[in-house]
Amino acid sequence: MVGAEFCVKVTMKLKRNGMALFAAIALNLMAAASLAQTASSVTAAKVIIDTDIGDDVDDVFAVGLALSSPELKVVGISSAWGDTALRSRMVDRLLCETGREDIPSLQGISKTGTGAGAFSQKPWAMAGIEHPHNDAVAFLLDQIKQNPGEITLLAIGPLSNIGAAIDRDSETFRKLKRVVMMGGSIYRGYDDGLGLIAPAPPSPEYNIAMDPAAAQKLFHSGVPIYMMPLDSTQLKFDETKRALLASISTPLTDSLQVLTAEWTRVTHQPTPTMFDVVAAAYLVDPKACPVTPLHIEVDNAGSTRVQPGLPNANVCLQQQEEAFFKVLVPRLMNQRLTGTHVCIAPGKTSAAP
Ligand SMILES: [Ca+2]
């Protein structure tokens, strides 16, 4: 049974009778056993996540998926763009809630620009405990030096930290194994994501358009790029899936629910779009978004166009709804990540101001 079908059928059963709950739990446990087997039989891929977590809500789903996937070893999480101090504080709280404070949380460059998104999940982030953070760009370059050819960079925000790393030490940056990124718009722009109207024509995509100069440096860096553009990432975490997520309570699923609610309060949208999560899912299972080699050029306005020339990016052009949710949903439902202590600063709450 495929992911979307699985969600619909499980939810319908839950509505019909309680016995089906046990069937759903049994299915989850079987999948969990399968995941554990996978983890023990392969070496986890080393990943650094560079994220503008806190604006749109897809970043925290992407980080949550990475933390829930035994196929990945998250080496560090760096904050990108805008208020990177608060973003790192939000990462700290997420790592505390999920019992993964062994993962370093790094602060990136605090650049901003016209059209930048609002920090919708500020109340949850502000309630976290303040810690000092080391420099994200130095950490990235150090990790590449220590693990040449082994580190995958999952880039799910504007690319300022990446541009700075290339400026600081392009030779070391080239020793990344690859960059897997959400970004760009090849044949499809932002649309309703439902396929009910004709796809919108391509337009500058946020992660590229906030810092086109940094994107240009990345696409000319020589590092293998795996690119998930708007063409393949406008998948909806719809009401059925939200209901399924709400049927269990773990620190991660509770956090995802509150953060989605905070995002909804600011944006007046009920349904998250899984932009960044598709890039994370590709890391777990490439079938979640198969790629095509293309030569991509980034212009100064942030458009990403196919041009003649040797391929410099592997691009996923067609979204794979069933394969994607089959990666995401079981992992979120099966994880039992749990911290061991309070993650909210004394006297603080996550209440909106
Ligand atoms: Ca993002």
Go through the domains of the chain in sequence order and give each one's CATH number. 44-334 (3.90.245.10)
Backbone angles phi, psi at 184, to 5 degrees: 90, 170
Calculate the CA 113 to chain-centre distance: 22
Give the distance (Å) from ligand 1 centre to CA of residue 333.
Answer: 22
Find the 56 Cα to ligand 1 centroid distance in Å.
6
Q: What is the reported pLDDT for 197? A: 75
Distance 276 CA to ligand 1 centre (A): 6
CA of 316 to the centre of ligand 1 (A): 17
Residues whose beta carbons lie less than 5 angstroms from ion ligand 1: 52, 59, 156-157, 276
Tens-binned pLDDT, residue by residue, of the chain (353 aa)? 333 333 334 333 333 443 343 344 344 444 444 444 444 446 999 999 999 999 999 999 999 999 999 999 999 999 999 999 999 999 999 999 999 999 999 999 999 988 898 999 999 999 999 999 999 999 999 999 999 999 999 999 999 999 999 999 999 999 999 999 999 999 999 998 776 777 799 999 999 999 999 999 999 999 999 999 999 999 999 999 999 999 999 999 999 999 999 999 999 999 999 999 999 999 999 999 999 999 999 999 999 999 999 999 999 999 999 999 999 999 999 999 999 999 999 887 766 55
Q: What pLDDT is attached to residue 10?
A: 36
Q: In sequence order, what are the residues at sequence separation of 6 or more whose Cβ sits closer than 8 angstroms to the Cβ of residue 32?
A: 334
Q: What pLDDT score was predicted for residue 352?
A: 59
CA atoms of 164 and 84, how far apart (whole Å): 15
Phi-psi region of 79 (alpha: psi -120 to 50; beta: other; left: phi over 0): beta
